[in-house]
Amino acid sequence: MRTIHVVTHPEATHHVDGLVGGWFDSELTERGVRQAGAIADVLADRLGAAPEVYSSDLRRARRTAEIVAGRLGADLTIDAGLREKSYGEAGGKPQAWLDARFVPPPRDGERLRHDEGVAGAETQLDLAVRAYAAMERVLASAAEEQVIVTHGGTATYLVAAWIGMPLDAAGRVHFRVSSGGISLLREDDRYHSRQLTRLDETGHLDGW
């Protein structure tokens, strides 16, 4: 049975500073480092020896993955396809700056290619294509236990890719996850069906 634990990085400096994340390369806070340790402890209790660990190359995710991989005795593969969506010139600016300029997608019609009104930003299609391709690279391995450390926006498209959702349909879906959350994907050996077994587990963050 293949299992994939999708981890969203915990608290980072852009969270506490009220800044837009995206490709802005923020660090984990001290609290975020402790939360990453709690994530690593949970995964160590559940996984066998040396599962595969994949991570976004952005520092907040990579640091989380380094803590997890160190605790599990696992090799770490860095994949820039697992990055958060780029918010272009909004990255690193106050969240209020982006909120004042952001153009929400329409209820009907084209959503993935929608221009959100911020120069240099990726579309949701750009992000989805990246995430789908990254999931393909993870699944090319025959490993039965894998961990992916990523970002909140990217996690939706990783789950969509896992369950085989057509790319065009992914513009209407959102799997809401928290910073430091763990989601479990599972494929059974008999029917080879893919499950979203658990979405956004956060109990390990209690007290942090």
Pick out the residues of the known binding site for substrate: 60, 84-87
Coil, strand or helix at 64:
helix
Q: What CA–CA distance (Å, rounded) separates 168 from 143?
A: 29
The active-site residue out of 5, 9, 14, 15 is 9
- Binding site, annotated residues: 60, 84-87
The active-site residue out of 52, 84, 116, 201 is 84
Give 2: exposed, middle or buried? Use CB within 10 Å, 0-12, 13-18, 19+. middle
CA torsion sign for 112, 84, 32, 5 is: positive
Q: What CA–CA distance (Å, rounded) separates 128 from 120?
A: 17
Q: Is 145 a catalytic residue?
A: no
Q: Is 84 a catalytic residue?
A: yes
Give catalytic residue positions: 9, 84
